[in-house]
Structure 1
Amino acid sequence: MDAIDIKILNCLKTNSRQNASAISEQINLSVSAVIERIRKMESNGIIKQYTVVLNSAQTGNDMSAFISVSIEHPKYHQNFMDKVTGMPNIRECYHITGEFDYLLKLEAGSTAQLELVLNSVKSIDGVSHTHTLVVLSTVKNEISGMPLLMQNLKGFK
């Protein structure tokens, strides 16, 4: 990867639906070169997918929370992961180090829905302790990978 690839990624990060022609105008590179570079980043796994970022408030899920979860024994980890991946309100699940084993990010439309999700998580076999933090506001929500990538390649212009 080089500085041109970073410029292409920044264009796609802003709007992944823009075509190669629009990107080529922004970064002063031929359309065919932009297409080739995008294809190469896709085939190398740098670009994993193109997606839509939803406005949670507009979809009725304007309440976010983080739930830290402790599992009492490693034999329960697979069951926990299976249950959590099937819960639609759980948006992200991380296996972490420290006092807790997992960190869940969830979205809900109300405190009642949050309570239902929390009770569902607590009732999973092996869950020994949870700690819930309700998000009051989001200060920053950066798309994964780009800030670090930019920092690692800061010598490129």
Structure 2
Amino acid sequence: MKHERDASGHWLAGLSDPMVSMRDFLQAHDELIRRQARRMGLNATDMQTLRLLDLHGPLGPTELARRLDLKTASVTVVLDRLEAAGHVERIRDERDRRRVTVRALPQALDLLFDTWAPVVRALDDIARGLTPAQRSGVCAFFDGAAAVIAQTPES
């Protein structure tokens, strides 16, 4: 399938206004992640690892590798860096010493919260300023977008 280009040369010409806004949002989000990671003294993958541990609680290295779309050897390097910085700890299973779980340490989660809370609160202020109908429309769009993304095959 051939895709038209818009005036800027972008390959998705003719997108709807919500999609153009989403594209701009995602671009700003990607840059924000890089800036926030730098503020925290991390790279983007290290910060994403901490965010996953914050959202899901302790995870094994294999599950982290799956969620980060990295090889387990690469996750080992990430975890070594985060552990050396005092952000995570590896916990060995008492019954099976080969089994390891990784958890974010409280001070790392505090740093994550302190870095992200102002942005999250500002975005929430925007959402709270919407009318109920606007909120419903925004939620419908994002819920639909999330469903499309979740159903998109890996390969």
Normalized against structure 2, the TM-score is what? 0.33
Q: Would you tell me which structure has more strand in proportion to its own residues? A: 1
The higher-RCO structure (CA 8 Å, 6+ apart) is 1
Q: Would you tell me which structure has more helix in proportion to its own residues? A: 2
Normalized against structure 1, the TM-score is what? 0.32
Larger radius of gyration: 1
